[in-house]
Structure 1
């Protein structure tokens, strides 16, 4: 019988102090002192046993997802965040989990493409005012900074892959009690693969396909002894973008992890992640006067256009069980990411620099770079105790983080860096040079947060949960002056301010029948002015905003409140989870751009908007042979208040009223399975998230279909065929805020994957 152990632990805590920098330093000192004391106590009590959550199932393979329902690969039982003290089926919130088996069967390997298919999520584009990279919009709200890895915020706007992931967790609705600042529409948490003490296992995959596709992965876990194990995941990919060569992608990465059970009560986990990309990104189609122009298939020029990202992130986790109902976990993370790009972009009009004649549309090059450094510490305590004749699970803790960002542009010595007629662009070879320019933004955000949560059953059928979090932040930014024609470059502008964010969540769950419940939940979130590090100085793109005089950057935080009523049914012997939720999110004190997008001038706390809807989910085994991962959302949005009265009543930008995905798998025989996925999104309007829609930029909706088949040869070898976009229908996933261009979904493509276990 196989067994997977999930160690019960928790996130970081430090006591409140001021100033915030000294408090953060104290967090690390306290963590070290606490762990030293814990180790000494452990040596004094050698007979203690570490409390574990045991998941047992005769069919659980050593490399299976430890968070999934045993024997049900398409259904997650728990999330990785131990502050969620109940299984997903008993948690009063909308949480969608995409397991690694769902990811593998889909044949999709980039986080961006996986999230784009999920209900309530759309994609954003890179622009002149913010960086190019993975950009997500959840329920109409910007979420590009609300991405986490193993519960800690991931810095930078970069490309993300799935080769080292167990599952992807999407929490819907404001969740600042757990996530900190941001998370208005929700948050995304990537759960990585960890070293296991269970047994040795190894797996290799090679995938080849159309469009010169190649991808290879290696995964191996080695048990050194009964106390130490190591694990390695590695990946390399090289391919063209389907039907869009020379646009293509080259990715490589590795993640190494280790676990050490120093004693029965003290466990260390460490990992290091490295990932690089060297892409020639597809700029999509020209979008002119509300029509997609497919007659000019320009993709880019080799040497001029590129996107290169890199991530190096190390994490240390220490867990200790005091054997009296109290457990503690400390996480420390140090990471650095970078994003360099020089990408073609359509513009609505311009002058052909070769002929000097005006043109109705043109190409230009957007180029920039960004470097992010992050350090964070989480120290949390979980206490199971009886208080006032009720069983409580208290969580109290704190989190410290320091994020630093440097960014700038590129110097391009070629006429192609200016506006050139799209009809003539392919007729010219590119000659020139691209060089990194000087730094234009120096940004630092330091945060110390304290939080307290409790979950308590009041009766056999009623349970309540609540949480409170306070974030104290310090914000500093230096933005280089922008030169005006014929004038000297002004001195840099320095912004320095701080504030506090208070957020809460509360839920009640009523379970009148076994394996089912109804619940109600209220939660809040806060956004700070200038919180999007890739847009600093560009108010209209989510960056720092001043008042109309350009002098005052301190504003009230944007505040969001979500009301949700839902139900969850754990059916068919807990092998199929059905969820439904009605929700309404209202965002107040919205900071609005003034229309001069590349300037910091804006309108502080003048906006208000609302999103409401209903979302359904179905995950797991419908029968012993048929599995599904399904979700659909029906929503509507409205701008309630704005500095511009014409915006009132308009829907939100980048917002799909209807969206959903349904992936099915049928196990026809013990060795042969087949299935497919259908994804749908209604049309969206262009514009900046949190702003009223630009209704003249109307992107059509789409429906796409994929299919797969898998055959297993014994226990060690399998082959899977994926055909994505089987109808080869051209569809569009995102649009620039003012139109001009749209991003393309992948054309039809096929991949054959061979998996060998050894």
Structure 2
């Protein structure tokens, strides 16, 4: 049985609560008109004295609100974090039937997805138009490995927007995405879910929490997923296991031991092709790969976390993690169509030339992270002080293949999926190793009961070595680089009442040349890129804390982006590029009435390339959208309890036209059309502990493109129907 372990606080003031609601009506109306229309405001209830209830809430009683989050490293509520924050929690994932990290993130406006290319495998995400492939975290520790993540052991996903290198080190231009794992509880409770659907879809998940003693518990998470796809489309076979053991040593020490395993054998779909600046109209129910295609990846992660708490409330949390990740891809890509093929002439007999994407590798990551949190009184002011350090040792080996067989062409209508005889020979191509050390300090000062000031400073030292003897000359010589960088974070919060918070913040970030485990002769001579985020915003807790509303206006600048320049000496990069994204966001989550839950957001983005290198091809990109930053995105999910046993729900995700990320002006001109995808849910609880749920995604069978790369767009799944049985015991 899954729970949201968080503190729920409610308080109301007889003098201020009605006035605050009236003051917020214009902004609330604007948000709701943009996302779901309008709704009636319930009558104000009689104010009571402040009441604080602490405990664990069952999924049925929890809302879609964030609660206490860990992405800021201090265990704070969203109102005390002076940056945009969206949380996709376990209840939302369960109601929507989401089974992958990527699908879960479709709830978050501002996020787009890159097709699995650019030499990478696995989840490839853009936030506000900036890559966050190197900014994915698992329980606050970097999870940069190349694999497709699953949600079976996830309690919530926290998306923090804007530069945050002071907290996390290198990366985070657009923000960070933190997965929070389920943790053992001192109770014996279990939940099993079985889902069946079209395309021979079968998924089983188990969440078994066993109290093994007065101060100890074991939590076991299991997952199997099998899907044959439809009409020869791509398929998946996934297996997962998570083991977490918690031991409370007295009242001051807690030890958690965690093991996580995920592996999958997928048949990937790399997509179609751009044609005359639009996606070529390949049929959405056909697949142009071969039955011998595969993507076989695995992740094995071991973590030990110790937390010591002192009687004054101070705490020291130390985590040690070691992870081993393997990947292997052999997939079909659609090559450029023949000259003369147009949108008008494209048809069933159009020849589809095909090529191969094949690469493999392994990664070994080791992390040690420690955070000390305490409250002090300095100069008569309360201070919340965070001191921390993290050490990383990361190794990545990339393998290539020789003697790769050719893929025969097919036609649009035939879509021949005959297997290819494997004649490939695998060889070691490159190896990257790095050491990173970070030291940071942050203080949150309560200037007055209404005003708080946050200030943080961090220093990072990153050293990388790249061995590339498997490449052909002259690209087979070793390369190395070392950088030291300072990062800053500043925020001010005005909180006139417990349910209101206004803030302004400033943060910096940096990206080293070796962020994603490779150098070339140019990047090895290039210092880190720099970025900054400036943001103002407001957060409200309405209707006695049942409904959370936020809005933010932000500007993110990458102001010395790497660019090759014709006037530079050979083997050097010039940090002459600059681009920015302006973003306006609104979000509402929580409970409108005791029967009506909602999760909705809308983002407006204006992304522009401001400067580039002096070459003609680089200059041609100035003024263009850098890609994967649509002007408008929105999402809505809402459920309503019709009776004691029935719930109905649904919603949509929508985006305006979008293009791929590229440094090439011709590729940037490609545009996938905007879309709105509708989903629906119906649930019947035939007892207190057992229920059936029906999820229909893409109700209207809309053809749209969910992942974009400069060479091709990937069409999203058509209508899917899935039924889930849930049992709790």
TM-score norm. by structure 2 comes to 0.87
1:364 aligned onto 2:355: yes
User: Which of the numbers 716, 720, 723 marks the counterpart of 1:745?
Assistant: 716
Superposition deviation, residue 714 in structure 1:
1.8
Superposition deviation, residue 288 in structure 1:
2.1
Could you tell me which residue of structure 1 aligns to residue 702 of structure 2? 729
Q: SS of the counterpart of 1:674?
A: strand
Q: SS of the counterpart of 1:285?
A: coil
1:665 aligned onto 2:614: no
User: Which of the numbers 467, 474, 478 marks the counterpart of 1:478?
Assistant: 467
Quick one: distance in 1 between partners of 2:580 and 2:5? 42
Q: SS of the counterpart of 2:669?
A: strand
1:259 aligned onto 2:232: no
Which residues in structure 2 correspond to 1:677-716 (within 5 Å)?
A: 677-688=651-662, 694-716=667-689
Quick one: distance in 1 between partners of 2:3 and 2:198? 40
Mapped contact 1:202–1:757 kept (Cα < 8 A): yes
How many residue pairs get aligned? The number is 666
Q: SS of the counterpart of 2:478?
A: strand
Mapped contact 2:597–2:638 kept (Cα < 8 A): yes
Which residues in structure 2 correspond to 1:511-526 (within 5 Å)?
A: 511-526=495-510
Quick one: distance in 2 between partners of 1:383 and 1:391? 10
Provide the alpha-carbon RMSD of the alignment: 2.5
Superposition deviation, residue 404 in structure 1:
0.5
Could you tell me which residue of structure 1 aligns to residue 57 of structure 2? 60
1:73 aligned onto 2:63: yes
User: Which of the numbers 85, 104, 112 marks the counterpart of 2:94?
Assistant: 104
Could you tell me which residue of structure 1 aligns to residue 49 of structure 2? none
Could you tell me which residue of structure 2 aligns to residue 92 of structure 1? 82
Superposition deviation, residue 482 in structure 1:
4.5
Mapped contact 2:503–2:537 kept (Cα < 8 A): yes
Mapped contact 1:363–1:422 kept (Cα < 8 A): no
User: Which of the numbers 606, 619, 623 marks the counterpart of 1:636?
Assistant: 606
Quick one: distance in 1 between partners of 2:216 and 2:664? 52
Q: SS of the counterpart of 1:700?
A: coil
Superposition deviation, residue 530 in structure 1:
3.0
C-alpha distance 453-715 of structure 1, shift in aligned 2 (>3 A) = same
1:572 aligned onto 2:536: no
Mapped contact 2:402–2:427 kept (Cα < 8 A): no
Which residues in structure 2 correspond to 1:346-365 (within 5 Å)?
A: 346-349=334-337, 362-365=353-356
C-alpha distance 4-116 of structure 1, shift in aligned 2 (>3 A) = closer
Q: SS of the counterpart of 1:178?
A: helix
C-alpha distance 414-652 of structure 1, shift in aligned 2 (>3 A) = closer
**Runs of at least 5 residues in structure 2 that lack an aligned partner in the other structure:** 8-51, 340-349
C-alpha distance 238-415 of structure 1, shift in aligned 2 (>3 A) = same
User: Which of the numbers 610, 623, 627 marks the counterpart of 2:593?
Assistant: 623
C-alpha distance 593-78 of structure 1, shift in aligned 2 (>3 A) = farther
TM-score norm. by structure 1 comes to 0.84
Mapped contact 1:654–1:686 kept (Cα < 8 A): yes
Could you tell me which residue of structure 1 aligns to residue 381 of structure 2? 390
Which residues in structure 2 correspond to 1:265-284 (within 5 Å)?
A: 265-284=252-271
Quick one: distance in 2 between partners of 1:617 and 1:330? 34
1:146 aligned onto 2:135: yes
Quick one: distance in 2 between partners of 1:692 and 1:119? 26
Which residues in structure 2 correspond to 1:174-253 (within 5 Å)?
A: 174-197=163-186, 199-241=187-229, 243-253=230-240
Which residues in structure 2 correspond to 1:115-126 (within 5 Å)?
A: 115-126=105-116
Superposition deviation, residue 286 in structure 1:
3.2
Quick one: distance in 2 between partners of 1:691 and 1:113? 29
Mapped contact 1:273–1:313 kept (Cα < 8 A): yes
Quick one: distance in 2 between partners of 1:554 and 1:215? 49
Quick one: distance in 2 between partners of 1:481 and 1:435? 16
C-alpha distance 691-176 of structure 1, shift in aligned 2 (>3 A) = farther
1:560 aligned onto 2:549: no
Quick one: distance in 2 between partners of 1:5 and 1:124? 33
C-alpha distance 260-482 of structure 1, shift in aligned 2 (>3 A) = closer
Quick one: distance in 1 between partners of 2:231 and 2:474? 43
Mapped contact 2:69–2:75 kept (Cα < 8 A): no
Quick one: distance in 2 between partners of 1:90 and 1:327? 19
Superposition deviation, residue 96 in structure 1:
0.3
Superposition deviation, residue 695 in structure 1:
3.8
